[in-house]
């Protein structure tokens, strides 16, 4: 699983759903892949 740029500042660009929903979905996805022992790569930009 590749998680790209889940940063607080990028949440302001999300208009289709509330930012908290996006955050909750990202956390749920991360927890699910850990539960199934899927390799995870996190990527951010500086």
Backbone angles phi, psi at 32, to 5 degrees: -65, -45
The string over 5-35, giving b where at least 16 C-beta atoms fall within 10 Å of a residue's C-beta and e elsewhere, is: ebeeeeeeeeeeeeeeeeeeeeeeeeeeeee
- pLDDT tens for each residue of 1-46: 887 776 666 666 667 878 788 889 888 998 999 999 999 887 776 5
The pLDDT, as a whole number, for residue 31 is 92
d(CA 28, CA 13): 21
Question: How far is residue 42's CA from residue 30's CA, in Å, rounded to a whole number?
Answer: 10
Sorted by where each begins, the domain ranges of the chain are 2-43
CA distance linking residue 14 with residue 16, whole number of Å = 6
So what's the pLDDT on residue 19?
A: 78
């Amino acid at each position: 699983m590749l998680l790209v740029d889940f940063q607080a500042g990028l949440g302001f660009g999300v208009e289709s759903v509330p930012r908290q929903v996006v955050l909750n979905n990202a956390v749920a996805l991360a927890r699910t892949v850990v539960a199934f022992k899927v390799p995870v790569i996190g990527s951010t930009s500086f």
